[in-house]
Structure formats: C-alpha cells, structure tokens
Structure 1
Amino acid sequence: MESINRNRPNDAIQKQSELSTLIGKTQESIASGKSFSRPSEAPSSWLEISSLGRKAAIENSWLNNIGRAGIMAQQAESSIDTISSGSIRAKELVIQGNNGTLSPEDRAVIANELDNLRVQFNQLTQAQDSYGGQLFHAGDPIEMRIDTNVLVTPSPNFQTVAQSIDIGGGTSDLDTIMDEMITAIRTGTATDRADQLGRADSLINHFSNLLANQGMLVNRLDDQENRLQKSQLTSSERRTVLESTDVTEAVSRFQSLLVNLEAAQRLYAKSTSTTLMQLIP
C-alpha cells in the first residue's frame, strides 16, 4: 500500500526546512552578537543604522572644525589678553608721565617702556596661528561650520583687533595710538600728555571688549563640543541596540524553534507511516 505522503504537498518538509534555517540564523545571532547580517533581514533597522552613520560622519566634521577653531580661539584669547594687560600698563605709564615734577630723563624711561609695549603689541597682532596662517588675518573673517546653519569666527581679523579703534569722535590704529603716546611722553607738552589719558582708556575698553567676546566664543565652542559628543554617544548607544542580539530573547526564540522543529518532525514521521487503508473508516 502506498503512503499518502505521495499524494500530499510537501508542506511538512518545507516547514522543517524553514524552522532549520531560522534555528541556524538564531544560533549565528547568539554567537556573533549581531541581530542581523544582511539589510534584507531587518530593513527598518538597517535604514536607521545608515541614517545614524551619516549623522555621525557629519558630526565628526563639525567636531573637527570645533577642535581647530578652539585652538585658534584660545590662542587669540591669550594674545588679546596680553595686549589688554599691556593697555592697562600703558595707562599707568601715561599717568606717571603726566607728573609735572619728572625730568626729561624720567620721561625718556617711561617712553622706552611704552615703546617696548608697542613692539610687543605689533608682534602679537602679526603672530601666526598653530596652523601657519595669520592669527589675526587681513580681510574677511574666517568662518567655520560647527552645526547646521551655524558658523563661527575663531579669531577676529586684523582690522578688528588693531585698526578702527574708537578713540572718541574718530578711529585710529593701534600702532599710531602707541606712537603718538610715546611722542607725547617723550617730547610733548603737558596738554599733549594729558590728551593721551583718553586714548589709553580707549585702548583698554577696546581690548577688554575683544577679550570678553573671545571668552564667550571659547565657551560657546566648548558647549557645542559637549553637545555633539553627547549626541554621538546617544547615536552609538542606539546603534548598539539595533545591531546587538538580545541574548535572552534569542535563547528563548531558539528553544521555541527547537520545540516546533521536533513537533514538525514527529508529525511528518507519523504522516509518512500512515497508509491510505488506515485512513478509510
């Protein structure tokens, strides 16, 4: 007597094959720690992972810009701070030079110190940054992107630092202000020397404002760097969740698949041993 299995679809065989494939994939998932190995196995997760990858690449470029801008900004802050302190010292020297009891020799000593400050200021405003360019370059400010539609200028340009300094009713450049200050102390009249007090105050105000702005920029770059690092950490954690195998769930699924496979095999074995005569009442 022929087995009825010859007249029935191979559903049972197909079911066993599918279960065996799923068991193999589950074993591989547990062993590798990866929840899938091909995009087709988890299309939605793969798309999200791809999106996270693109986001990470963009954020890395922003972080690189922030790193470069941060170095330039801190160098500029240090230089401006030195000039700001020098401006305060220049005012102290101008006040000393206004003392009517000083001899020409005394004023010459004060003028020499002012001249040293002038040389130092010129060196600082002409200094190069850590990348070989001018720290305070001439022309339009250099801008760096640190986020979508967000650009920053790591250091002010030369015009902002050393030129167009407000001296009350007009503007002048740093070197000219220092030159006139030195000349007034060395050979000028009492009126000339008194006029330099206002110019010394203008220098102090100018570089104090620049220093404050530069400090805020450095803090802004630090805050943005921290924000992007947190964003990347969140993305990395999310990617790990998408890619990694949930071992507890996978083991449970593996055991369930084994039970189903054993049941399918028993059912198939039983059906193959059943003859047509056994099914006729």
Structure 2
Amino acid sequence: MESINRNRPNDAIQQQRGLSTLIAKAQESIASGKSFNRPSEAPSSWLEVSSLGRKAAIEDSWLINIGRARIKAQQAESTMDTIASGVTRAKELVILANNETLSTADRDVIAIELESLRDQFNQLSQAEDSYSGKLFHAGDPIQMRIDTNVLVTPSPNLQSLAQSIDIGGGATSDLDTIMNDMITAVRTGTAADRSQQLERTESLVSHFATLVAGQGLMVNRLDEQEDRLLQSQLTSTERRSTLENTDIAEAVTRFQSLLVNLEAAQRLYANSSSTSLIQLIG
C-alpha cells in the first residue's frame, strides 16, 4: 500500500531542511565568533558595520592630522616662548641702558647682547618644523582638517609672528627693524631715543605673550579633539562588536533549541511515514 507521504505536502521535509540550515549557521557562528559571515545573512547589520568602517577610516585620517598638527603646534609654542623670553631680556637691557650713569662702553656691551638676541630671533623665525617645512610659513597660514567642518592653523604665519607687530599709534613694524632701532638707540641714541625704545619693548612683550597664550590654546584644542575622536572610535568599536560578534551563550542556547526542534520534527515525520493510508482514514 502506498504511504500517505506520496500525497502529503513537503512541508515537513522543508521544515527539517530549514532547521538543518539554521543549525549549520549557528555552528558556524559559534565557531567563527561572528554573528554573520555574509551580507545576505544580516543586511541591516552589514550596512551599519560598513558605515562604521568608513567612519573609522575618516577619523583615523583626522587623528593623523591632529598628531602632525600637535607636533608643529608644540614646536611653534616652544619657539615663541623662547622668543618671548628673549624679548623680556631685551626689555631689561633697554631699562638698564636708560641709566644715565652708564658709560659709552657699558652701552656698547648692552648693544652687543641686543644684537645677539636679534640674530637669535631671526634664526628662530626661519626655523624648520619636524617635516622639513617652515615652522612659520610665509604667506597664507597653513590649515589642517581635524573634523568634518573644522580646520586649524597649527602655527601662525611669519607675518603674524614677526612682520606686523603693533608698536602703538596705529603703526606696525617688523621684529628685525624694532631690534635694529633698539640697538642704535642704545649705542648712539639720546635719552629720548632710548625712552621711545623702551615703549617698543613693551609692545614686543605684549605681542609675544599674546601669541604664546594663543598657541597654548591651540595645543589644548588639538588634545580635546583627539580625545573626542578616540571616544567616538571606542563607541563605534563597541557598537561594531555588538553587531558582528556572536553572543556565545545566546548562540549555544539557540543551537540546542534548534537541535531539539529538529529531533522533534524528524520523529513526527518518521511517525507520519510509517502510518498507512488505511490507518489514517480508518
């Protein structure tokens, strides 16, 4: 007599195949530690993982820029701080030179030290950065991108540093000219000339104090942006791990449940296969 299975739907067989496929996927997931291995297995998760990957690549490039910008910014900060200390020393020397009891020889010694400071300032203004470029670029300031709409200038340009210094009365001058005038006033100038140069030293001290303070803020800004990006990457990594990595305990529980369901389906199918048509309709 023919089995009832010849005429019954293939639902039971398809159910067993489906369960076997799910079991195989569960085994693969447990073995690989990945919740999915092909985009088709979890399209939405795969899209999100891809998006997180692109985001991480962009943030990596910003972090590289921050690293390079920080090196340049810190070097500029140190250099400007050295100039600021030199300017303070120049002010002390001009104050000393204003003592009318000094001899011409004494003032000449002061002028020689001022010349040394001037040469040092010129050398520092033309210093190279760690990447063999000018630390203080002549022309438009060099900017670096550290976020989608964020550009920073790691160091001021040469004009801001040493070529447009406010000397009062709406006038500006460059550092080299100011130092040369200072040296001349100390060496051969009158008391009035030296008094005027003392006012210039005040302008220099104020100018470089402002630059050093601003550069310190730039370094802090780079540090804060780096921290923000690193936190963003940590969050993205955790989210990606949640999407990609298998929850082993959950996967094992699901695997065991699928095995139980498959065994039950197989028993039911076996019982149905052994039942004759007469038994079913009798």
TM-score range (shorter-chain normalised) is: over 0.9
Q: Deviations over 1:206-256 (max 9, x none)?
A: 000000100000000000001100100110011011000011111111111
CA distance in 1, matches of 2:281, 2:63: 78
- With the length of structure 2 as denominator, give the TM-score of the two structures: 0.98
2:201 match: 200
AA aligned to 1:145 is R
What secondary structure does 1:151 align onto?
A: strand
CA distance in 2, matches of 1:199, 1:97: 14
CA distance in 2, matches of 1:271, 1:183: 114
Residue 266 (structure 1) aligned with residue 267 (structure 2): yes
AA aligned to 1:272 is S
CA distance in 2, matches of 1:280, 1:174: 110
For 1:114-129, list aligned pairs within 5 A: 114-129=114-129
AA aligned to 2:202 is D
What secondary structure does 1:2 align onto?
A: coil
1:182 match: 183
For 1:1-281, list aligned pairs within 5 A: 1-169=1-169, 170-281=171-282
CA distance in 1, matches of 2:158, 2:281: 103
What secondary structure does 2:101 align onto?
A: coil
CA distance in 2, matches of 1:121, 1:28: 68
CA distance in 2, matches of 1:91, 1:111: 12
What secondary structure does 1:167 align onto?
A: strand
Please report how far the alpha carbon of residue 10 of structure 1 lies from its aligned counterpart in structure 2 after TM superposition.
1.8
AA aligned to 1:194 is S
CA distance in 2, matches of 1:171, 1:261: 88
CA distance in 1, matches of 2:79, 2:198: 23
CA distance in 2, matches of 1:6, 1:149: 69
AA aligned to 1:50 is S
AA aligned to 1:250 is A
What RMSD in Å do the two structures reach over aligned CA positions? 0.7
Q: Deviations over 1:174-230 (max 9, x none)?
A: 000000000110111111111111000000000000001000000000000011001
AA aligned to 2:26 is T
AA aligned to 1:111 is A
CA distance in 1, matches of 2:202, 2:108: 22
Please report how far the alpha carbon of residue 280 of structure 1 lies from its aligned counterpart in structure 2 after TM superposition.
2.5
CA distance in 1, matches of 2:42, 2:111: 78
AA aligned to 1:14 is Q
What secondary structure does 1:142 align onto?
A: coil
AA aligned to 1:252 is T
What secondary structure does 1:146 align onto?
A: strand
Moved over 4 A (4+): none
Q: Deviations over 1:64-106 (max 9, x none)?
A: 1111110100010001000001110000000000111111111
Please report how far the alpha carbon of residue 153 of structure 1 lies from its aligned counterpart in structure 2 after TM superposition.
0.3
- With the length of structure 1 as denominator, give the TM-score of the two structures: 0.99
Identity of aligned residues (%): 76
CA distance in 2, matches of 1:54, 1:257: 36
CA distance in 2, matches of 1:13, 1:47: 34
CA distance in 2, matches of 1:262, 1:116: 93
AA aligned to 2:179 is M
CA distance in 2, matches of 1:21, 1:12: 14
Where do 5+ consecutive residues of structure 1 fail to align? none
Task: Give the length in aligned residue pairs.
Answer: 281
CA distance in 1, matches of 2:160, 2:267: 87
